[in-house]
Structure 1
Amino acid sequence: MEHLNVSQISHSFGDQPVLKDISFSLDHGEFVSVLGPSGSGKSTLFSLVGGLLQPHSGDILLEGESIVGKSGSISYTPQTPSLFPWRTILGNVLLGQEISGEKNSEKALEMLERAGLSSYEHAYPHELSGGMKQRVSFIRSVLSPQSLILLDEPFSALDEFTRTDMQKWLLSMWEEHQRSILFVTHNIEEALFLSDRIIILSPRPATVQKEIRVPFSRPRDEELLLTEDFLELKKDIYHEMRLSHV
Structure 2
Amino acid sequence: MEVSHLTVSNISKQFDKNEVIKNLAFTVEENEFVSILGPSGSGKSTIFSLIGGILSPDQGTIHLDHQVINGKRGYISYMPQTPSLLPWRTILENVLLGQELQGKKEKEAALEMIAIAGLTGYENAYPHELSGGMKQRASFIRALLSPQSIICLDEPFSALDELTRLDMQKWLLSIWEEHRRTILFVTHNIEEALFLSDRIIVLSNKPSQVAAEFHVPFSRPREESLFLEDEFLEWKRKIYYSLKKRS
Same fold (TM over 0.5): yes
Q: Distance in 1 between matches of 2:55 and 2:174?
A: 32
Q: Distance in 2 between matches of 1:189 and 1:122?
A: 35
Does the alignment pair 1:194 with 2:196? yes
Q: Distance in 2 between matches of 1:106 and 1:243?
A: 49
The residue identity in structure 1 corresponding to 2:212 is: K
Give the CA deviation at 1:101.
1.7
Per the alignment, residue 7 of structure 1 pairs with 9
The residue identity in structure 2 corresponding to 1:153 is: E
Q: Distance in 2 between matches of 1:233 and 1:123?
A: 42
Per the alignment, residue 68 of structure 2 pairs with 66
Give the CA deviation at 1:223.
0.5
Give the CA deviation at 1:244.
2.1
Q: Distance in 2 between matches of 1:188 and 1:132?
A: 24
Per the alignment, residue 164 of structure 2 pairs with 162
Q: Aligned pair count?
A: 245
Q: Distance in 2 between matches of 1:243 and 1:142?
A: 35
SS at match of 1:235: helix
Flag structure 2 segments of 5+ consecutive residues without an equivalent.
none
Does the alignment pair 1:237 with 2:235? no
Per the alignment, residue 140 of structure 1 pairs with 142
* Contact 2:187/2:193, CA 8 A, preserved across alignment: yes
Give the CA deviation at 1:203.
1.1
Give the CA deviation at 1:29.
0.3
The residue identity in structure 2 corresponding to 1:19 is: I
Q: Distance in 1 between matches of 2:170 and 2:149?
A: 21
Per the alignment, residue 31 of structure 1 pairs with 33
Q: Share of identical aligned residues, percent?
A: 65
Q: Distance in 1 between matches of 2:218 and 2:195?
A: 8
Per the alignment, residue 20 of structure 1 pairs with 22
In the TM superposition, 1:80-99 aligns within 5 A as 80-99=82-101
Q: Distance in 2 between matches of 1:35 and 1:75?
A: 20
Does the alignment pair 1:207 with 2:219? no
Give the CA deviation at 1:61.
0.1
SS at match of 2:153: strand
Give the CA deviation at 1:64.
1.2
Flag structure 1 segments of 5+ consecutive residues without an equivalent.
none
Q: 1:187-237 deviations in whole A, cap 9, x for unaligned? A: 111110000000000111111000100000000011101100000000011
State the TM-score, normalized to the length of structure 1: 0.98
State the TM-score, normalized to the length of structure 2: 0.98
Q: Which of residues 122, 126, 129 is equivalent to 1:127?
A: 129
Using the TM superposition, name which of 62-71 and 95-104 deviates more.
95-104
The residue identity in structure 2 corresponding to 1:204 is: K
Q: Distance in 1 between matches of 2:142 and 2:244?
A: 36
Q: Distance in 2 between matches of 1:82 and 1:122?
A: 17
